[in-house]
């Protein structure tokens, strides 16, 4: 949802002319298609751009070497067999998102050098929203797919953004299969969990610039969803007042980001006594967070990973030198 707000903010003041069209591009299988070698080169270039002293440049080379080692250790096990990822960035590697971003940023710089960047181009990971001249659309897709042999862009023109002459209007998009089934009022979930979905819906409605008619339509949809699941619409009204007041504080004061640092959080098993426990803990500046971890299925099942032998487990090892009999211990 955060990306939705980012796109709205970018497009809010953008203009689209009669000969232009709003298009979305998507990269097929981004992580497996990344050239790790090129991504590491882009990474070192970026470091050298921001860290320019002689000492920092030496450190930059070391950082790049360390990143290269981390990216080459792509081993995993499946049914007691060892495998190695030979192409792209590995899913789950903490460096993969960073290097993928570096790689894509390098492609965008190449687009600028070749003069093929459209008037509006905004990317989030592997998804791009662009405003393109209709006559250049097919040529742009062909040229972007020539930037790198592994990267393939696909194109879609069906986006839930409404074009009004040269300006844009926005609406809430829902899939055709969307239902109004959410956590009901009879659920044993905590109060906070029951209303999480409504907080999200209200937050989106208040932060996306909707027309008056679309705002009324969306508010009616939220209240109708609440009623169908046994909730009072008064709760939606109270939620809106609270969020509008928070938005006003952000606009009117510079103290909106200051939080009470003395309050601590603690997870408490969700039971019928949870509201009373929560109220009691508030006097000690402890915020109780309900959890249902003890009844989750994964806590009752054994690990699905292959078991390790004792030789593979981490620990302290003693190694004796065969020449001098000295002992080395390592963890």
pLDDT digits (tens, 9 = 90+) for 54-74: 999 999 999 999 999 988 877
Is there a contact between 202 and 172 (Cβ–Cβ < 8 Å)? no
The better pLDDT of the pair 105, 172 is held by: 105
What is the tens place of the pLDDT at every residue in 215-267?
A: 899 999 999 999 999 999 999 999 988 888 887 777 665 444 444 556 777 77
Q: Is the pLDDT of residue 176 over 90?
A: no
Least confident stretch, 79-88, 111-120, 222-231: 79-88
Q: Is the pLDDT of residue 163 over 60?
A: no
Rounded CA gap, 106 and 103, in Å? Answer: 5
Query: Mean pLDDT of all residues in the chain?
Result: 80
In the predicted model, what is the mean pLDDT of residues 28-43?
91
What secondary structure letter does DSSP report for 177?
A: T
Q: Is the pLDDT of residue 82 over 80?
A: yes
Q: Record the tokens describing residue 131, joined without a space.
A: 């405003």
**pTM for the predicted model, two decimal places:** 0.54
Contacts 24+ apart (CB under 8 A), 43-51: 43/67, 43/98, 43/99, 43/102, 46/102
Rounded CA gap, 137 and 118, in Å? Answer: 10
The better pLDDT of the pair 207, 31 is held by: 31
């Amino acid at each position: 949802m955060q990306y939705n707000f980012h796109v709205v903010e970018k497009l809010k003041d953008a203009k689209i002319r009669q000969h232009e069209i709003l298009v979305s591009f998507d990269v097929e299988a981004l992580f497996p298609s990344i050239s790790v070698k090129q991504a590491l080169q882009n990474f070192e270039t970026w470091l050298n751009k921001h860290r320019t002293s002689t000492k920092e440049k030496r450190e930059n080379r070391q950082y790049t070497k360390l990143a290269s080692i981390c990216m080459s250790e792509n081993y995993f096990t499946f049914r007691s067999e060892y495998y190695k990822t030979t192409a792209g960035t590995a899913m789950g590697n903490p460096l993969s998102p960073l290097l993928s971003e570096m790689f894509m940023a390098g492609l965008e710089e190449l687009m600028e050098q070749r003069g093929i960047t459209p008037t509006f181009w905004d990317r989030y990971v592997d998804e791009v929203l662009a405003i393109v001249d209709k006559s250049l659309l097919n040529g742009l897709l062909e040229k972007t797919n020539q930037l790198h042999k592994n990267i393939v862009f696909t194109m879609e023109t069906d986006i839930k953004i409404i074009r009004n002459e040269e300006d844009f209007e926005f609406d809430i998009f829902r899939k055709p299969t969307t239902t109004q089934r959410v956590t009901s009022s009879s659920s044993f979930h905590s109060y906070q969990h029951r209303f999480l979905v409504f907080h999200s819906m209200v937050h989106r409605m208040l932060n996306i610039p909707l027309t008056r008619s679309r705002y009324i339509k969306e508010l009616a949809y939220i209240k109708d969803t609440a009623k169908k699941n046994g909730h009072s619409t008064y709760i939606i009204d109270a939620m809106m007042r609270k969020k509008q007041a928070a938005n006003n504080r952000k606009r009117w004061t510079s103290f909106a980001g200051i939080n009470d640092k003395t309050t601590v959080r603690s997870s408490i098993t969700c039971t019928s006594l949870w509201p009373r426990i929560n109220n009691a803990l508030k006097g000690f500046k402890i915020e109780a967070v309900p959890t249902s971890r003890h009844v989750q299925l994964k806590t009752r099942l054994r690990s699905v990973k292959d078991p390790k032998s004792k030789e593979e487990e981490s620990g302290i090892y003693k190694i004796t030198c065969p020449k001098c009999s000295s002992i080395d211990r390592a963890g």
